[in-house]
Amino acid sequence: MAFIEASAVSKSFGTGPSARHVLHDVTLEVERGEFVSIVGFMGCGKSTLLNIITGLVPADAGEVRLGGDLVRGISQGAAIVFQNYSLLPWFSALENVRLAVAAAFPAWPRGRQADHARRYLEKIGLGSALHRRPSQLSGGMRQRVAIARAFATEPTILFLDEPFGALDALTRANLQQDLAQLCSSAERQVTTIMITNSVEEALLLSDRIVPMTRAPRATLGRPVGVAMARPRTAAQLLHDEDAVRVRTHVVESLTASVHRAPRLPPLIKSEASDASDTPLIAVPDRTEA
């Protein structure tokens, strides 16, 4: 049995004609120590799936097991980095991280918790911003705090929900490299599931990439392994033959899931339409041909 196993997970929101069937029969297996990325379109249900795997949201059908045990709530040893930083606005960067350390290591004296928090903030390049509050930090710095907070709890399982989605391309590239370094230098073996909409980001960080089909009734496609040793650099991946094969597989799987869409997607998004119904690539409905 794999370390993390999601079996036949389905999830809908609402009832009756307004019901939204988001996930359909999703199955995923992640081995201990593996870094797995799930890549999918905007609004396809990625956060919903991650929230079910973490135990934050219950599934309607199917189950999630961690180390063989059914997941019911956030597991000990798991840390989550959310899409939108989720820092406490009235506390400094240091205090935000220390509070997480205090929750993970309640027996430590406050001074030791603060030293530990400071060490992780310094590791991720925030040594000079320890006492600033989130509103006094840039988006990239806030996300660095969120990453330091996750790593400072010394997790054995790390859940990342589009950790760099809100950042500009340059900041994103810097943070991806820092995360790659942190993952490979972690003192304990960390099992990671990352949600992303970027194939390149998944290639840089993952052992395995799983494409997710578009909404509604999204499910996972065939996973593909990335052979190159970690940590990797973007430059290494540019011309690597295996990376080209993986990139092609993921992009083709995502595109195929759009082509299988049963109805004509709007080319111009109407006010009434929902983001999850609008594919990134608009294609004509083949069934009408």
At closest approach, how far in Å is the CB of 48 from Mg ion? 8
At closest approach, how far in Å is the CB of 264 from ligand ATP? 19
- Looking at 44, 53, 146, 224, which residue binds ligand ATP (CB under 6 A)? 44
Q: Residue 121: name its binding partner from Mg ion, ligand ATP, none (Cβ under 5 to 8 Å by kind).
A: none
Establish if 276 lies at the interface with ligand ATP (CB under 6 A): yes
What torsion do the CA atoms of 241, 39, 56, 164 make, to the nearest 10 degrees? Answer: 80
Please identify, using beta-carbon distances, which residue of 22 and 114 lies nearer to ligand ATP. Answer: 22
Please identify, using beta-carbon distances, which residue of 129 and 261 lies nearer to ligand ATP. Answer: 261
146 Cβ contact list (under 8 Å, min separation 6):
81, 82, 85, 86, 87, 163
Whether residue 216 is preceded by a cis peptide bond, meaning omega within 30 degrees of 0, is: yes
At closest approach, how far in Å is the CB of 75 from ligand ATP? 20
Q: Which residue in this structure is represented by tokens 């603060």?
A: 114
Establish if 45 lies at the interface with ligand ATP (CB under 6 A): yes
Q: Which long-range contacts (CB under 8 A, 24 or more apart) does 223-232 make?
A: 223/36, 224/249, 224/250, 230/35, 230/180, 230/183, 230/184, 230/205, 231/177, 231/180, 231/181, 231/183, 231/184, 232/180, 232/203, 232/204, 232/205
Please identify, using beta-carbon distances, which residue of 115 and 274 lies nearer to ligand ATP. Answer: 274
- Looking at 10, 47, 184, 255, which residue binds Mg ion (CB under 5 A)? 47
Please identify, using beta-carbon distances, which residue of 150 and 243 lies nearer to Mg ion. Answer: 150
Contacts of ligand ATP in 8-27 (CB under 6 A): 13, 20, 22
At closest approach, how far in Å is the CB of 8 from ligand ATP? 18
Residue span binding Mg ion (CB under 5 A) among the ranges 31-39, 41-49, 122-130, 209-217:
41-49
Q: SS3 for 40-57, per residue?
A: CCCCCCHHHHHHHHHCCC
In this structure, are strands 20-30 and 208-211 parallel, antiparallel, or unpaired?
Answer: unpaired
By CB under 6 A, the count of residues binding ligand ATP is: 16
- Looking at 42, 74, 104, 180, which residue binds ligand ATP (CB under 6 A)? 42
At closest approach, how far in Å is the CB of 74 from Mg ion? 18
Q: Report d(CA 248, CA 252) in Å as an integer.
A: 6
Question: How many alpha carbons lie under 13 Å from residue 221 in its C-beta half-sphere?
Answer: 24
Establish if 86 lies at the interface with Mg ion (CB under 5 A): no
Contacts of ligand ATP in 172-201 (CB under 6 A): none
Contacts of ligand ATP in 133-152 (CB under 6 A): none
Residues that bind ligand ATP (CB under 6 A): 13, 20, 22, 40, 42-48, 83, 162, 215, 274, 276
